[in-house]
Amino acid sequence: MFSSASPYKNQHYAELKKDCITSKKLFEDPEFPATNDSLFFRRPPPGRVEWKRPAEISSDPHLFVEGISSHDLNQGIVGNCWFVAACSCLALKPDLWKRVIADWKEQEWDSKHPENYAGIFHFQFWVLGEWVDVVVDDQLPTINEELIYCHSKCNNEFWSALLEKAYAKLAGCYESLEGGNTGDAVVDFSGAVAETINLEEGAYYKDQQKQDHLFDDLYKVYDRGGIISCSINALPHEIENKMANGLVKGHAYSVTAVKRVRLGHGLIAYFKNETIPLIRMRNPWGRTEWKGAWSDTSEEWSKVGDTERGNLGITVEDDGEFWMSFTDWCKFFTNADVCRLINTSVFTTHKTWHEVVHFGSWTKNAEPLLNRCGGCPNNKQTFLQNPQYLFDITKPEEEVLISLQQKDTKLHRKEGQGENLSIGFSVLKVELNRKYRLHDILTQKSVVTSAYINARTVFNRCTLLLGRYIIIPTTFKPYTLGDYMIRVFTNVDSGCRELTEDKPRTKCWSSFLGYPQAVTHVYVHSAEGLQNQDNTGGADPYVIISCEGKSVRSTIKLDTLQPEFATSAIFYRKKRRKPITVQVWNSNTVKDEFMGQVVLSGLVDDTANPQRLKLRKNGRNMADEMPGTIVLRIVTATQLTAM
């Protein structure tokens, strides 16, 4: 997941620092100067702003004071609780923050060698698939001698304020950080895959089975280094309103622990092994906590032994961190952002995923076939003009993770833009032998359709059966332009690749060997009334579709005389008079047995509805043995460009 970082704005930290030390000057960042342009584009801070370096704020400045902790951070005057919540989560993950706060030991103040201090810092963020190194100077905005944005509880600790400044530089200014999504910031800190869970819509509070499944999933995510945050929906006038139970609406909380807590005392608790699912959170304000069951002073803690309480680190203090029962969490919180660190390393005891990453754009062209911005499936005339990515599921059943992420737009808020596009994607099951772009939906069917939302990332986790599929990422409206990254995770290599060609290429020998004149789709739905082929009263049938020397074979259906194949194939045909053959075979360890076939004239009429045709042993005359029927659909397109 980690790789070398590219310098943002072509600013190389090591070179800039060396120049400052040589010239004995503190660094001043020309790309993010200490001016109002770096603070706001619409609403100025409430007071006279002075830019001060840490040494002007504290006599003993440090990057870290007694290490790094989720308790270090407090939110400032800008409404970026989402970012502060993400920083709280980051502080709990040493493997992550040591990457984000690059060279963290070297960047610390060194009292023994003050001559090496140059007033320059750098941080690394994951921006649309690439690690980017962002340089900042250490001039921080203050009002009345105090930091006005994110700051630490210790007035001589500056890692959070400097990290926020680097993130604000990426966004264009501090005000651009007002309003955002915690999951997005976590992705920028880690390269994780973000999934948004609507707790309210999913009604997890009312469904114990769904609730248990969700807790088990979140427990695994947290245990494997993932990051979780949550919030409560709010109307515009309700944002950051405190509820009677102590929770705050429209406010991002970081999840700092997911645990099954043992109930009882002493040996009785050990042998009884009764547990309750709890979840711990932190308010970025550093105060204002939950007042209900399992809060700091609630009587529920009397059910937990002293040793277990000590392991959990229970403190009775208004520090913004508190526990809740998982049931109450599902009841009162409406949304959760779950960021999974997907394991792609083979050197691990955990499940390993195979990842494929593609970068693309929704673009417009005067030639419709070259358009790549057709909009969502509602736009039937243009939908298939979008980018298309083909992949294969080679196991009988496989879990697939798909993440579609658009380019961050916060940088454009100064120009009155900066809103996310409404994006989503569809997954269609296609012919087993398809290798060209899809131009018409005939036998294909959509097996997954994501939500279409104006979020930076749209995620879907699904289970797919063996076969060939196409992912079509789109904007909601057609002819909307933008850039995106799509990531596909499977258990084994799926061969995921973009389809760019519309039809077979014309080659120098095509005039001699012939060029495809038509496209034919063959879809075999099922077979009926097959003859018994084994002593169990069934068979193990499969189907082979052949045309012009090429064939496609279905999977084997075990122990049945009524198989459902749902197998489709596509043939680019040079000679339309050549026959199409559909054969049914029975799988056998020693030798497969031929069960029957349908031989169709090449000049088959177009048909949109499934046809029941009699299977014959050789298909030459009506007197041949008929071992059953087969249900199939054949569609012939006379124009290649129309398909």
Region 19-31: mean pLDDT is: 96
Whole-model pTM?
0.87
The CA-atom distances, in angstroms, between 28 and each of 58, 60, 121, 366 are: 20, 21, 11, 47
What is the three-class DSSP state of 325? strand
Q: How many helices (H) and strands (E) does the chain have?
A: 13, 29
Extract long-range pairs of 9-12: CB within 8 Å, 24+ residues apart: 9/135, 11/135, 12/135
pLDDT digits (tens, 9 = 90+) for 181-209: 889 999 999 999 999 999 999 999 999 99
Q: Which of 352, 341, 302, 12 is nearest to 187 (CA)?
A: 341
Q: Which one is predicted more confidently, 267 or 140?
A: 140
Out of 479-483, 503-507, 611-615, 623-627, least confident range: 623-627
Higher pLDDT, 400 or 240: 400
Confidence of residue 1 (pLDDT cuts 50, 70, 90): very low
Rounded to whole angstroms, how far apart are CA atoms 233 and 239?
A: 8
State the burial class of residue 396 (Cβ atoms within 10 Å of its Cβ: 0-12, 13-18, 19+): exposed
pLDDT at position 620 is 52
Interval 133-159 mean pLDDT: 93
Q: For the segment 220-242, what is each residue's pLDDT rounded down to a tens digit?
A: 999 888 899 999 998 888 888 89
For the chain, the residue count is 643
Radius of gyration in angstroms for the set of CA atoms belonging to the chain, rounded to a whole number:
31
Q: Which are the catalytic amino acids?
A: 81, 251, 283
DSSP run (H or E) holding 74:
strand 73-74
Return the amino acid letter for 309.
R
- Give yes or no for a contact between 425 and 450, defined as CB atoms under 8 angstroms apart: yes
DSSP string, 499-543: ---SSPPP-TTHHHH----EEEEEEEEEEESPPP-STTS---EEE
Contact 207, 213 (CB under 8 A): no
User: How many Cα atoms within 13 Å fall on the side-chain side of residue 224?
Assistant: 19
CA distance 245 to 369: 57
Could you give the dihedral angle defined by the CA atoms of residues 245, 250, 254 and 259, in that order, rounded to the nearest 10 degrees?
Answer: 40
Residue 17 scores a pLDDT above 90: yes
CA angle 350, 92, 352 (to 5 degrees): 15
Would you state the pLDDT for residue 578? 84
Residue 544 has pLDDT above 90, yes or no: yes
Could you report the per-residue pLDDT of 275-291, keeping only the tens digit for each?
Answer: 899 999 988 777 888 99
Using CA atoms, how far apart are residues 560 and 343, in angstroms rounded to an integer?
Answer: 40
How far is residue 10 from each of residues 16, 174, 503, 595, 625, measured CA to CA in Å?
Answer: 11, 21, 42, 68, 77
Nearest-angstrom CA–CA distance, 641 and 511: 19
**Average pLDDT taken over every residue of the chain:** 88
pLDDT at 305: 81
Asked if 550 and 431 count as a contact pair (C-beta separation under 8 A), the reply is: no
Q: CA-based angle 380:381:385, to the nearest 5?
A: 100
By CB atoms closer than 10 A (0-12, 13-18, 19+), residue 303 is: middle
State how far the Cα of 242 lies from the Cα of 232, in Å rounded to an integer. 11
Determine the Cα–Cα distance for residues 86 and 186; give it in Å rounded to an integer.
6
Bridge partners (DSSP) listed for residue 582 = 545, 598
